Chains A and B, each alone.
Chain A
């Protein structure tokens, strides 16, 4: 079997600050196959975006990767020299950000910014780069692309800008597109359009996608695999069906309870109680234990390992271990 396109192994990323080390990512593992879609879900501060920025090595100062490897086509890109890493960014791995309103440089035209990306990574001349930029704008469904090339970001709507961001990210035909909450800042109808566009482009261009979101419902349809993150760790992973219909981690269950359902209009949503874990003082045991209704003694003292629920599903929760043991004990007795 061929190697996966991207493998993240035991990734640790932290931000040294005056009050201590903020441990944003604490030992993440995942792999991504060519042409597949991986969803990463979690609340704010769970380390989703930091994971993405770590892959591209565009962490804000003073963040840095302290441990682990990121293998892209079997090369550990955490150890690549800066200029080689730069050649990967935007050409092999691209990213689109959460807020299209602020992600484009306000003082340069759309065309200038698109062509910059194209000319950085290909040998196209000005004329060819402009043709490519035009082609990309058409591809992402921007109307009047010729006119848009000469416009400044402030002259475009939020949805249009996100389309421009996508065009820019895909202009050099990357192998991986990282979408960091690409629809969070957009209104609902535009959200659906952008997701549809990404799905369509994936089918057309065949890149793999890492889809980062805090909204499980948004990405369920398009993901081949979903990872649920909490406090910089993976608490559950599996196919969308498994995560949705057979959640085995208390945090995932909480997340699912907080999604509005079409059927129960009158019921109030159930939020997850408590507040997110303090990344400066990570607990010894399971990071979610303090907010978990079913926490046991062992949850406070020992970190749960990921255990296999079935071939499509793994979860890191002591409850599963206990129930597994009980079930097994039951079988033994009977």
Chain B
């Protein structure tokens, strides 16, 4: 287990290095630069700026310079705002992470619950209702859902304030972000629950005299969870990248918003910082979901 984790972490470092390299060279290959604007500064000023940030050096040298700084824990400063990248990431990520974490919890709790209900009441009206809505939420893109939520609950009914510096109510953004993964988990849980309920060991549990609630909660759910856990890794990815749309619609200054504006501005250090940060997060989440897998399914061994 420990040996496996160490191996995975070493591999992760390689993965992150490759991602960093690709991003760095790809960014430099795109025409334009941080100071190439319609109202571009005078060539002389631009040359000074480029020299200051080392942009006049060969790309390879720039990359090595970036990596050595990175190893010292220095992400550099934004070419746009002049603020420390690490600071920008940590403040904006705390918003995104709160939003994302809440959305994941909501999606998991309701997804498992609704999926189990649908499986247990197969063919009856609760099942049909649940499945109807999951199809709806899986099919409709999140920016439409987010806009509709705003229109109905903020503008129409006035239950929630629009997001601002003073008004930070996460309810609507969390719903908008959670609906898709929740629906997906519901469908996943339903099908795996139905599969598990037909297994012989469920009949064994009933034949032992285990009460029905416990048959479901102890004997069925844990087995039904295995395919759901597989989805937790990609789910995190969805939440992290997908939150961009939702953040934009609700006007929340999260990591996703910063990421896209950084690309538009050719803010190289910010793009690099955000990419490396997200990549690291992804690798960690995948590792966590693999370890979770092991905790739930004893058949999985890492040796």
Contact = CB atoms under 8 A, between A and B. Distances in A.
Interface in A217-259: none
Contact of A86 (B211, B223, B298, B299): B211
Most interface-central of B199, B201, B210 (chain A CB within 10 A): B201
Contacts of B296: 107
A89 interface: yes
A165 B205 CA distance: 11
A117 B201 contact: no
Interface residues of B, number: 21
What's the dominant secondary structure at chain B's contact region? helix
B190 to A, nearest CB: 16
Nearest to B296: A107
B200 A99 contact: yes
A60 B122 CA distance: 14
Contacts of A86: 209-211
Contacts of B203: 58, 60, 97, 103
Interface of A: 56, 58, 60, 82-83, 86-91, 94-95, 97, 99, 102-109, 116-117, 120-121, 152, 154, 165, 168
A121 B201 CA distance: 19
Most interface-central of B200, B207, B297 (chain A CB within 10 A): B207
Interface of B: 198-201, 203-212, 219, 222-223, 296-299
Contacts of B201: 102-106
13 contacts: A56-B207, A58-B203, A86-B211, A89-B209, A90-B209, A95-B207, A97-B203, A105-B219, A106-B223, A106-B298, A107-B223, A120-B210, A165-B204
B208 A89 contact: yes
Given A105-B219, A106-B223, A91 B209 contact: yes
Given A105-B205, A120-B209, 14 more contacts: A56-B207, A60-B203, A82-B212, A86-B210, A90-B207, A90-B209, A95-B207, A97-B204, A102-B201, A104-B204, A106-B223, A116-B210, A117-B208, A121-B209
A58 B200 contact: no
Nearest to B226: A107
